[in-house]
Amino acid sequence: MNYNAPGSVDDIDRIMEVMTGAFAPEYGEAWNRRQVSDSLLLTGTGYCLIGAEGSFDPNLAEPVAGFALTRSIFDEEELLLFAVLPQYRGKGLGASLLTQVIARARLRGIRRLFLEMRRNNPAGKLYTGFGFRTVGIRAGYYRTASGERLDALSQELYIADN
C-alpha cells in the first residue's frame, strides 16, 4: 500500500474512475473525490491499485482494473473500499488484489483485517474464500436509493497466523 502520502492526482483520478464504474449507484456505497483524498491525508491510510494485466500500482499506460483503500492502527487494519471494474471481474484480479492487501498488511505487522459490507454484496464470496468470518451484523444499516434497508456484515480475518 502507499502509506503516509496523499496519493498523486493521477492515482486519485484512477481510484475515482474505478469507483464510478464498480459501485452500483442504487446502494450509495461509492465515496466522492473529497472523501478519498481526505482519507489519504490520515496516517495509516493507504491504497493499492491493480492493473488490467494484474500488475500492482501500474503506470499510467496500463488501465487500472481495481483498487483497495485501507486504514490501519496498531496491529489492525480495515478494508475501507475494495473494487474491481465489472469488465475485469471473474479474471482473478480481485483475488490477486486481496492477496496483495493481506501480504502488505502482514509485512507491517497487522494481525487482523476487518471489513464491513452489505449483506447481498457479491464480493462476499471472495471474502469468505479468503477466510473472513462474520463477527457482527448491523440490522438495516444501509439504505438503497429506493429506501430498502439492508444489513451490514462486519467481518474479520486473522492474518498473523495465515
> What CA–CA distance (Å, rounded) separates 159 from 153?
19
Where exactly are the structural domains of the chain? Answer: 2-114
Residues of the chain with pLDDT under 50: 3-5
Q: How far lies 147's CA from each of 23, 28, 139, 152, in Å?
A: 17, 11, 14, 15
The secondary structure element, H or E, covering residue 22 is: helix 9-22
Task: Output the pLDDT for position 28.
Answer: 87
> What CA–CA distance (Å, rounded) separates 155 from 94?
17
- pTM here? 0.91
Give the pLDDT confidence of 26-49 residue by residue, as tens digits.
988 999 999 999 999 999 999 999
Fold of 2-114: Aminopeptidase (3.40.630)
Q: Which three cell numbers stand for residue 4?
A: 503516509
Q: Which three cell numbers stand for residue 159?
A: 492474518
